[in-house]
């Protein structure tokens, strides 16, 4: 499954009690891939590797589940996850994004303005 499909599946499995956010699922998928536990296929779906199938011994203390971003680095990482989520939705057979086009363009413009700001000198 891709990230959007995983989110939908988790929502169904918990009967609506828990639906992970794109800001948690996509960084998790990226981390799994980086750790050699999942591989992203050409169609955007992820597949567990043999290392992951071997069992939970790869999970360190405290697990690996996400949390809310605490700083700029984590926020940008979460934004990257949201961008991947939106790409998955846009590439779905029946895209759910056209109705949000104006809002997405506005958010993109805001992010562009933030990225273009020159560094401020320390006060």
User: 63 in the Ramachandran plot: left (φ > 0), alpha (ψ -120 to 50) or beta?
Assistant: left
User: Residue 47's beta-bridge partner residues?
Assistant: 39
Q: pLDDT tens, position by position, for the chain (123 residues)?
A: 999 999 999 998 888 888 899 988 999 999 999 989 999 999 999 998 988 777 655 444 344 444 566 788 888 888 888 898 898 888 888 887 888 899 999 999 999 999 999 988 875
* DSSP at 91: T
């Amino acid at each position: 499954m891709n990230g959007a499909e995983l989110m939908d599946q988790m929502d169904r499995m918990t009967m609506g009690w828990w639906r992970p956010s794109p800001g948690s699922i996509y960084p998790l998928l990226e981390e799994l891939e980086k750790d050699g536990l999942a591989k992203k296929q050409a169609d955007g779906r992820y597949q567990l590797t043999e290392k992951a199938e071997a069992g939970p011994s790869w999970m360190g203390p405290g697990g690996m589940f996400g949390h809310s971003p605490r700083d700029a680095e984590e926020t940008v990482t979460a934004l990257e996850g949201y961008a991947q989520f939106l790409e998955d939705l846009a590439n779905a057979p029946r895209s759910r994004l056209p109705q949000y086009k104006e809002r997405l363009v506005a958010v993109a413009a805001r992010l562009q303005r933030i990225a273009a700001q020159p560094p401020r000198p320390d006060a």
